[in-house]
Structure 1
Amino acid sequence: MTRQPSLRQCPITAEVARRMRARRKAIQMTLVDQAAAMTEAGYPMSHTGICDIEKGYRRDLPIRLIVAAAVALHTRVADLLPDPGSCPTCEGSPPLGFSCNACGSGGSR
């Protein structure tokens, strides 16, 4: 049976996963090495778990996981998080009087 990415993955989760993978590739770290480093940082993780995140099989990522990933990837937590207003759904500006279901941003009057 082929696994499908989560149909309800939060756009923020998808962006964090994309940034984690990009950083891992940039420093030429394997999934196995990242998993070991995250486990050492206090968040036990397998290489298949990281692969699942990168492929979109996880809907949400706990902050503890993101912190451990930042430690493992030798970067800041802020570097793994999307910039404010960078929601891929509303691009930081939902229509006037509405709020974005993806990021929670509210349209100003």
Structure 2
Amino acid sequence: MAPDTRMKNIQVIDGADNCAYDIFAATDSEFGLIFRAGCDIAFIDEVYAEGNKVLLDAALKNVWTRRVVKAEAMGIHGLLFYELDSKKQYYPTRKDEEACNPNGSSLR
């Protein structure tokens, strides 16, 4: 699917060995269901713990139909982690630019 500049791209990072790190396009409302306001990092267990399961299931069902070819993606607006709770310590604010080591030192 060609990128849609009216959509926000979400890269999915899965704990599976065969994860392909696919990118999917989400509408603004779908993106808002997955990511907290001002955040661009989300962990699926937290998303479901804080959100409406019915709305999330419907939104993700739609999102999964909109895979974006990486070479055609016009940016990545959010990272969605599955099965990688160990990564939570690096994203305490759930903002990629604020990623840090467990001791608080910057990753960048």
TM-score, scaled relative to structure 2: 0.29
Larger Rg: 1
- Structure with the bigger percentage of strand: 2
- Structure with the bigger percentage of helix: 1
